[in-house]
Every structure is written in structure tokens, then in C-alpha cells.
Amino acid sequence: MIKLLLVEDDLDLAGNVMDYLELEDIVCDHASNGVAALQFLEENRYQVVVLDINLPRLDGLQVCAQAREQGNDTPIIMLTARDQLQDKITGFEQGADDYLVKPFAMEELVMRVKA
């Protein structure tokens, strides 16, 4: 079983993603802002983090960079509407392992999580 942290401030999207992932036997915790995400990462172990960039309090790029600075090497998939090459480069420079642009197919997200 995969344990995943979903960091997404759009509660409707987060609910849909969590429902779908649970059908795939992927257990999800959910944080709706960057500060909560870092707290979840300090208190729990995950196999993967799915991280939005545009978040309240602390954006996803800052969350990713701080997690890496703290020695957390959990794979991070950026899930964002930012689709320009420079956005992707910035995400990878901050420590992301993968980058998926919204809108996305749930099947593709599941395959990336399992990979």
C-alpha cells in the first residue's frame, strides 16, 4: 500500500483526487496550505508527495525546497497549472522529482505515483 501526502488548496479537486487514489489502494493525507504540508512531512513518512505550487501561506516551491533542506528525500510530484518550460525547470531546481500539469488524467497521476 502506498501512503501519499496530497497538498492542494482546491478542496473539490483534492476530494476528487483522494477518492480516485483510494480506489487504487493509495492512502492519502491532505494539506491545504504549505505550512500544514511541512508539518505533515515532519510528523509522518510518505512514499510520495503530490504538491500544488499555488498554495496559501507557503507556496509549493518553498515547501519543496524546505523539505529538501531538512533532508527529506520523499519523491515529490508537482501538480500545477503552471505549464511553461521555465516553471518546470524551477520546480526541478527546487527539488521536485516529477511535474504534472493541470488539467491531468487521473490514470496518469496514478502511474506517476506508482513509478
Could you list the pLDDT tens digit for every one of the 115 residues in the chain?
999 999 999 999 999 999 999 999 999 999 999 999 999 999 999 999 999 999 999 999 999 999 999 999 999 999 999 999 999 999 999 999 999 999 999 999 999 999 9
Give pLDDT, residue 20: 97
Q: How far is CA 93 from CA 82, 103, 107, in A?
A: 15, 23, 26
pTM of the shown model: 0.96
Domain boundaries, the chain: 2-114
- Answer CATH for 2-114 from 3.40.50.2300, 3.40.50.620, 1.10.3720.10, 3.60.21.10: 3.40.50.2300
